[in-house]
Structure 1
């Protein structure tokens, strides 16, 4: 696993908590809090756009249980 610096968990409604992190190479990471070993990585711009789309309601189906 790369050396990732994780931010504090972000918890939305319910019990879904996520963490966002970065490494020294400029890559960004997102993971479910407590499962940082199973992360998604991409460029910072790609993950920023994913977060914008989720907040805009374009990806609600991704967050359903």
Structure 2
């Protein structure tokens, strides 16, 4: 099993809280707070790109 170091949960108004984590192999993880056993994983670079794109509004059409 992968040893994941989770950050504190991030919660937006009216939305589910999520957590970002990393492991010693350079992978990044994102999960809903309280459901860390079910996560999405990719490289740290890919997760950083995802977060930057969301902040830039590139995923607004999904809301």
Stretches of structure 2 that go unaligned for 5 or more consecutive residues are none
Q: Give 1:27-38 correspondences, 5 Å limit.
A: 27-38=27-38
Say what the alpha-carbon RMSD is for the aligned residues.
Answer: 1.1
Q: Distance in 2 between matches of 1:37 and 1:31?
A: 8
Scaled by the length of structure 2, the TM-score of the pair is 0.89
Answer 1 or 2: which has greater strand percent: 1
Structure 1 segments, 4+ long, off by >6 Å, are none
The count of corresponding residues between Structure 1 and Structure 2 is 62
Stretches of structure 1 that go unaligned for 5 or more consecutive residues are none
Scaled by the length of structure 1, the TM-score of the pair is 0.86
